[in-house]
Amino acid sequence: MAVRFLPSADSAVIVEFGDRIDRAVSDQVLGLAARMRAADIAGVIEVVPSFRSLMVQYDPLRTGSAELIGTIRSLLTSKSALDRKRRLWRVPVCYESDFAPDLASVARQTKLAPEEVVALHSATRYHVYMIGFVPGFPYMGDLAEALVLPRLADPRIRVPSGSVAIATTMTAIYPLESPGGWHLIGTTPIPIFDTLASPPALFAPGDAVEFEAIDPDTFARIRSATERRDYRPASTEFAG
């Protein structure tokens, strides 16, 4: 796979893998991120994975871009395998109409019944490609082909936190109230970004997410438990 090194301002290097969004490219990005964290390279402040690139932020008083790129090249050709621990999260979602303002519209556009939309969405195990847009916002793929739709022509000014949404080949959960142009097909009662938690974002790039349909009564019980800080979604660790 061809790799490009691109300068970013005066204290970062972007390592770009290919020109597409898919799991193979994501594995390359996340693998390099894991190797760099394990190597604890002098002067590196942070590594930030995205769909098909890794931004490496560094202290220019401790290292330079040429030196850093040389180190990254050696890590790219390293034969060492890292057992990167990831988590599979099971997230409860209420898909009832009061919690899913765009479900009927999505059903019409995809020529599916609302329950078929829910069944397709909740049957997929999603890969967390990256966190971005607002703190904790997970870009997750890959959506069933039958559910692929463009973003809304007129984005909403306010999308409630916990909204479960789809757009293009992705699904996501809005961690905070914010503007948004995705189709809202459900709501989760759990917070996925909590400033009192460590780390504050529930998901990390490379994690997997499965959605479980729940009814409004269960939603209310879980929401109440999360407000008391007595609930955390089920998760299991897996290597990747």
Q: What DSSP state is assigned to residue 69?
A: H
Average pLDDT rounded to a whole number, residues 156-177: 97
Average pLDDT rounded to a whole number, residues 196-218: 95
* pLDDT of 52 over the 60 cut: yes
What is the distance in angstroms between the CA of the first residue and the CA of the last residue of the chain? Answer: 19
Backbone angles phi, psi at 66, to 5 degrees: -65, -45
Q: What is the DSSP string of 158-199?
A: EE-TTEEEEEBTEEEE-SSSEEE-SEEEEE-SS-SB-TTSSS
* pLDDT of 81 over the 60 cut: no
Q: What DSSP state is assigned to residue 179?
A: E
3-class secondary structure, 211? strand
CA 127 to chain centre: 7
Percent of the chain with pLDDT over 90: 86
Give me the domains of the chain, ranges plus CATH numbers: 3-76 (3.30.1360.40), 85-239 (2.40.100.10)
Average pLDDT rounded to a whole number, residues 206-214: 97
Q: What DSSP state is assigned to residue 238?
A: E
Strand partners, 58: 44
Name the pTM for this structure. 0.92
Q: At 50, which amino acid appears? A: S
How much is the pLDDT for 1?
A: 62
* pLDDT of 134 over the 60 cut: yes
Do 24 and 49 contact (CB within 8 A), yes or no? no
Mean pLDDT, the chain, rounded, equals 94
